């Protein structure tokens, strides 16, 4: 990386990222209401009760597995745009706040960084919601809503990058949610 490049830090505290992520409850609730307006007349009266009974035991494994897959999606996407591939990707957990993370050790173009930040929301959130709208699946709707909310911190990082040119270099911050922009 060129030494003369200006380095700008775009970060937030983990606590603030988690609080701002809660704001994404509003659009997710709106999506849920839209789903119910379409599908409630077609669902059995026990549809939600049955979902909780079926998911009861599996909820925690599905949630934990989804969190792992969420981080893997970041890593796979970013690895496509690094010179060393998956060797440039690191995973971990900030234990103080129980926040899992994926970190690229290489700088990425802003457009690639944004794509990697958005991909878990697309794959685990939006796609299941779209399928649920089309099929009426309560389980997929719940899954999509949960993992759209789980991407709230990612949406915040992309928001921080909103004025960053698409070809600017973006480097993950090594210890905070956010990045450096060159």
pLDDT value, residue 161: 95
Q: How much is the average pLDDT of 67-95?
A: 95
Task: Identify which of 179, 154, 178 has the alpha carbon closest to the alpha carbon of residue 169.
Answer: 179
Backbone phi and psi for residue 146, each to the nearest 5 degrees, phi listed first? -60, -45
pLDDT value, residue 158: 93
47 lies in some domain: no
Structure confidence at residue 90 as a pLDDT band (50, 70, 90): very high
Instruction: Record the pTM.
Output: 0.87
49 lies in some domain: no
8 lies in some domain: no
Enter the tokens of residue 28.
Answer: 């997710």
Instruction: Give 134-145 pLDDT, tens digit per residue.
Output: 999 988 999 999
Tally of domains in the chain: 1
3 lies in some domain: no
pLDDT value, residue 42: 85
pLDDT value, residue 17: 75
50 lies in some domain: no
1 or 139, which is more confident: 139
pLDDT value, residue 4: 54
Q: How much is the average pLDDT of 136-163?
A: 92
CA distance 170 to 113: 7
Residues 6+ apart with CB under 8 A from 32: 141, 145
pLDDT value, residue 99: 82
Query: Is 126 a residue whose pLDDT tops 90?
Result: yes
CA distance 67 to 1: 32
pLDDT value, residue 87: 96
Arithmetic mean of pLDDT over the chain: 89
123 lies in some domain: yes
159 lies in some domain: yes
Range of the domain at 68: 15-39+60-181
119 lies in some domain: yes
Give, rounded to a whole angstrom, the gap between the first and last alpha carbons of the chain.
9
């Amino acid at each position: 990386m060129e030494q003369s490049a200006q380095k700008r830090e775009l970060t937030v505290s983990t606590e603030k990222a988690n609080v701002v992520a809660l704001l994404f409850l509003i659009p997710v609730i709106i999506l849920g209401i839209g789903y119910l307006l379409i599908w409630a007349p077609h669902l059995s009266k026990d549809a939600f009760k049955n979902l909780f009974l079926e998911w009861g035991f599996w909820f925690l494994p599905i949630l934990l597995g989804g969190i792992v897959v969420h981080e893997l999606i970041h890593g796979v996407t970013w690895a496509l745009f690094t010179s060393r591939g998956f060797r440039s990707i690191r995973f971990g957990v900030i234990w103080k706040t129980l926040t899992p993370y994926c970190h690229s050790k290489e700088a990425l173009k802003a457009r690639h960084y944004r794509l990697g930040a958005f991909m878990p929301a697309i794959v685990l959130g939006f796609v299941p919601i779209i399928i649920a709208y089309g099929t009426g699946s309560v389980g997929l709707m719940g899954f999509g809503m949960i993992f759209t909310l789980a991407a709230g911190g990612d949406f915040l990082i992309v928001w921080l990058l909103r004025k960053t040119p698409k070809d600017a270099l973006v480097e993950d911050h090594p210890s905070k949610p956010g990045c450096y922009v060159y």
